[in-house]
Structure 1
């Protein structure tokens, strides 16, 4: 890296190392070799931000009363850009979502006039923003990064261990560990550009920041499955929009806020320029997943007013262009930019959600769950399972658990919170169920009271909840039961009953529902 006295540094100015071009060439060769090895006989995925949680539709809304000094490039006038937004984990070889990782968000605005920087996309009307879940990066420059990259993609895991055993690399390892975060929902965490960008004039540079709105509501079905981030995002967007405030942070000091060293956080104030609103929608179909996997993002696919700055962005330009073209060619897929379409939001909609301030307890309960995958849409599965009339068709006798005979709505209709129904079983047994949430076609929950069977000796209240998720264009139904218990003795007996009898009853019941739905009788 070119070393200059600090009094010679200028705002917004880049300083390019003499060996930068050679380092980027080596990185491209090493990344290509890694991808050839990983995907020799199958579809090639991205080299980084490989695991996608979803590619969703959004609105990028420019603030209506910006000061004239902020009216630059895409922010020039009050406007709403239809956008695609891709959420991902960064690691090349995908891991379970519970593992710490760098989480990424890539935004592609559509309907952006003006020539773009990339030659082969100069006349496209799209513009990309790339951000991740860490304010700073772990490498000071691409030479340092290239050493870590070379060790991490080596055929020998020993090489990576030896690399980080070197005391000279401990500071890199420490910074790297800080960039990895846990996450329950991709919609609930902030994202930073980490790297700087021009803002109109050559002496003005900014970093970008996305902050989730304090008013957002998140529905987290679970945090255990390997792909729970997609599931939780889909559950949330079924009924709720997710908004982010988009800020810029200006470089105001050349030494404390460097262009070429992304390990240093900038300390200037944040200025809000736009709102990213991810609208309620269904996004987890195979068709949309494939679209998101094939879509390309590049920080250089931008207007000149927002030119990327710094060594990592300069490396990105060549690496992303080359690796994207290589991946699309390997997969025999045409690389194309999406076009603005007046009907873009036609298939996005918000299901009316009903929820009362009553949560299912998380402590002092015994919980059991069952799953089934049904070859149908979520509305079909949801409407069948939640129907009063259909209940006797899938809740049938098992061991000591009697079959459902019929139901009686005693406060309704039974699709609104607070509604109650009485469920009648064989042998004159019954329960009362109160609907505490109802979110077509994602989930609903109910509270069970007034047992008149043997359960009344061990529990006063139980809760049932059903989740509906799209898995490979089928619907997975998850049924969860949570029982409170009266005392430690009741807990022991109830645990045995639930394990030996009730869990199997739940699983067989869902199997009956699957057969009835798929066979139509």
Structure 2
């Protein structure tokens, strides 16, 4: 077997730890504490992570034709076009001034997807992709993530002035690291994310998933010239607490955008582990290959009306989808219950039922 041959999934590739259930419960409790704090402060229930949205977009998701068998799996088994919702965000569980920089997130909901469902999403017709703007997760597994989350939870009520000052210092430290060709997941996760345009980012699933009979990670990269031009472009946040929303609205008032969804198949179980989400899978062994195009026409990029629908009435989870794309590894196994609890907390506190859409018309 050559290094470029995709490996078929074997259950032995997943190795849950004995204390995983306890870690999951502590993660639920920690995330609940973040939600309780922000709800007490603002009277409105928010996501425990990725609370602030910067762009809320609708468009079309096109599965490409002519894909080879290892790529033509699950949602990608045959060509098709689907409505799609995109939610760009940043990591914290509270609504912060954009001068406090943090890793960016992207949640994608493909609507009208039929097939055998993942547990908990029976009867639905969506496929979600949950991504961030780094190729690997900041923590190796759920236990490591819990340690970081507990530290971040303690800062939920810290003043924004302090957070902006700390973020500025961390951005300087991260810039120094990058000047020497490196990148620190720790610095960016704590507030050192460069203040660049969110629309120019490439996003990654970071964690692995089934890809039918195979194992893969996914990414979404801008490909239309107007979006590519925004990659690395600095955003001035001085006196602009919602600078990213302003930039998004300015862009989509004059232009549409196009992205590629790409898949990286596992070809080496040691170099591309399932249980250690902090490992970047080497692209020289298995490059990301396009399997779909995502197109968004000019529109209002963010508005209170859109936020009322997408932020408050929708939830995104890697466990919303087809059984052919089951999430794998420690981080993903503990995510299922955490995402469900966060959704239920928001629905109960806000008195707003959360349902999976079957068409974009139901979002209006």
- TM-score w.r.t. the length of structure 1 is 0.58
Q: After superposition, give the CA deviation of every residue in 1:424-475 in whole Å (9 maximum; x if it has no partner).
A: xxxxxxxxxxxxxxxxxxxxxxxxxxxxxxxxxxxxxxxxxxxxxxxxxxxx
Equivalent residue for 2:271, pick from 256, 281, 297: 256
Any conservation in 1 of the 2:51–2:93 contact (CA below 8 Å)? yes
Which stretches in structure 2 are left out of the alignment for 5+ residues?
1-8, 159-165, 167-182
Per the alignment, residue 207 of structure 1 pairs with: 217
**How many angstroms apart in 2 are the aligned matches of 1:231 and 1:184?**
13
**1:306 counterpart residue number:** 325
The residue number in structure 2 matching 1:91 is 92
Q: 1:22 offset after TM fit, Å?
A: 0.7
Work out whether residues 54 and 292 of structure 1, in 8 Å CA contact, stay in contact via their aligned partners in 2.
no
Q: 2:297 aligns with which of 279, 286, 310?
A: 279
Q: What residue is the counterpart of 2:169 in the other structure?
A: none
Higher relative CO (CA 8 A, sep ≥ 6), structure 1 or 2? 2
- The equivalent residue for 2:206 is 194
**Partners of 1:34 and 1:153 within 8 A in 2:** yes
Of residues 308, 330, 339, the one that matches 1:290 is: 308
Paired residues of 2:224 and 2:257 also in contact (CA < 8 A): no
* 1:441 corresponding residue in structure 2: none
SS in 1 for 2:305: helix
How far apart are 1:339 and its partner, in Å?
A: 2.2
Matched, 1:184 2:196: yes
Deviation at 1:221, TM superposition (A): 11
Name stretches of at least 5 consecutive residues in structure 1 with no aligned partner. Answer: 1-8, 162-172, 348-521
> What's the CA shift for 1:12?
7.7
Which residue of 229, 236, 240 maps to 1:223? Answer: 236
Choose 1 or 2 for highest CA Rg: 1
Contact 1:188 1:212 survives alignment (8 Å): yes
Please tell me whether the aligned partners of residues 59 and 295 of structure 2 are also in contact (alpha carbons under 8 angstroms). Answer: yes
The number of equivalent residue pairs is 320
- Asked if the contact 2:125/2:321 (under 8 Å) is kept, the reply is no
- Partners of 1:287 and 1:146 lie apart in 2 by 34
Residue 115 of structure 1, CA deviation: 3.4
Matched residue SS, 2:316: coil
Q: Which residue of 1 aligns with 2:38?
A: 38
Corresponding residue to 2:247 among 232, 243, 248: 232
Equivalent pair of 1:300/1:307 in contact (CA under 8 Å): yes
Quickly say closer, same or farther: Cα 1:23–1:272, change in 2 above 3 A: same
Deviations 1:239-295 (A, max 9, x none): 211111111101111111110111110012111101111221124332112112111
Taking the TM superposition and a 5 Å limit, the aligned residue runs for 1:281-360 are: 281-294=299-312, 295-341=314-360
Q: Give me the TM-score of the superposition, normalised by structure 2.
A: 0.81
How far 1:227 moved relative to its partner? 1.0
Query: How many Å separate the matches in 1 of 2:195 and 2:126?
Result: 29
> Which structure carries more strand by proportion?
1
